[in-house]
């Protein structure tokens, strides 16, 4: 059974993905045309605003129930398997860039035909993001270790000795205080990871020109949508197999 936060965010996420699909269609259609720079920038701004809305709602919901985002019920097992601290991996954005640079559309030119200066800036950003990612991972590890730190162990030992009465109530209060600290730490780690994701997108979009931004956003949004479609398809096939399997009488 879903919690209230899970229910509300699941509804929001479904609508958000539907709007993302609409944005992808526009990105793909405009990439085959020859719009002016102002039109390209307006479209890029629309997509980035859509992502900002996602994180605004995510952070507000996580403040109520951060654990829901460490095991999101609105995602398929396949999508969950690809997560890094509650969301997509920053390295995925660079992989999209690398793939687009290797995709040749005309002899001597790729979809993302970048200058040497752009390539240099992206490599510098890649290194910077990798360092920030490692910092988040160290903090996440620290939070996980804190579950088994001395205070939590002492609480567990105390709880095992107390059978009932006022003593148990005191233990409950102490456990609640400890868990509140842990959940607050997880919320900070999640936000830090999201900031790395947003810095990745912002940094790449600042390096690319408007036309390249459109191609990049089309690529990364399409990847996210395809992963979701594949994950839901696998779940549907799994459910069908379970229904079709003969039952032992």
Residue 96 lies in a domain: yes
Q: Is residue 184 part of a domain?
A: yes
Please report the pLDDT score of residue 147 as a whole number.
Answer: 64
Residue 82 falls inside a structural domain? yes
> Is the residue at 171 inside a domain?
yes
What tokens does 127 get?
Answer: 């290194």
If one counts the domains in the chain, the total is 1
Q: What is the pLDDT of residues 93-149, one digit of tens each?
A: 999 999 999 887 766 667 888 999 999 999 999 999 999 999 999 999 998 887 666
Q: Domain of 193?
A: 4-244
Instruction: State the first-to-last Cα distance of the chain, in angstroms, to the nearest integer.
Output: 29
Q: Residues of the chain with pLDDT > 70: what percent?
A: 81
Angle, vertex CA 93, rays to CA 87 and CA 94, nearest 5? 135
- Which residues, at least 6 apart from 220, have a Cβ–Cβ distance to it below 8 Å? 92, 93, 96
Rounded to whole angstroms, the Cα distance separating 85 from 82 reads 10
Per-residue pLDDT of the chain (249 residues; tens, 9 = 90+): 889 999 999 999 999 999 999 999 999 888 676 778 888 999 999 999 999 999 999 999 999 999 999 999 999 999 999 999 999 999 999 999 999 998 877 666 678 889 999 999 999 999 999 999 999 999 999 988 876 665 666 666 666 666 555 555 665 666 666 678 889 999 999 999 999 999 999 999 999 999 999 999 999 999 999 999 999 999 888 877 766 665 554
31 and 215 Cβ atoms separated by less than 8 Å: yes
Is residue 128 in a domain?
yes
Note whether residue 249 is domain-resident: no
Instruction: Determine the pLDDT at residue 249.
Output: 47
């Amino acid at each position: 059974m879903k919690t209230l936060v899970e229910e509300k965010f699941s509804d929001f996420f479904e609508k958000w993905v539907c709007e993302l699909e609409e944005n992808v269609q526009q990105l793909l259609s405009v990439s085959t045309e020859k719009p002016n720079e102002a039109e390209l920038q307006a479209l890029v701004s629309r997509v980035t605003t859509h992502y900002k809305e996602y994180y605004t709602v995510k952070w507000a919901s996580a403040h109520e129930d951060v654990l829901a985002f460490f095991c999101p019920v609105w995602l398929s097992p396949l999508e969950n398997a690809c997560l890094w601290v509650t969301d997509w991996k920053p390295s995925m954005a660079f992989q999209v860039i690398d793939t687009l640079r290797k995709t040749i559309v005309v002899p001597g030119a790729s979809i993302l035909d970048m200058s040497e200066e752009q390539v240099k800036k992206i490599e510098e950003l890649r290194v910077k993001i990798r360092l920030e990612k490692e910092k988040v991972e160290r903090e996440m590890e620290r939070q996980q270790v804190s579950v088994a730190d001395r205070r939590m162990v002492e609480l567990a030992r105390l709880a095992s000795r107390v059978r009932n009465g006022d003593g148990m109530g005191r233990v409950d209060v102490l456990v609640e205080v400890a868990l509140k600290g842990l959940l607050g730490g997880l919320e900070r780690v999640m936000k830090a990871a999201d900031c790395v994701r947003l810095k990745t997108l912002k940094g790449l979009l600042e390096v690319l020109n408007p036309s390249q931004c459109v191609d990049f956003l089309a690529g990364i949004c399409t990847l996210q949508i395809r992963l979701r479609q594949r994950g839901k398809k696998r779940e549907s096939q799994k459910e069908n197999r379970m229904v079709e399997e003969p039952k032992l009488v």
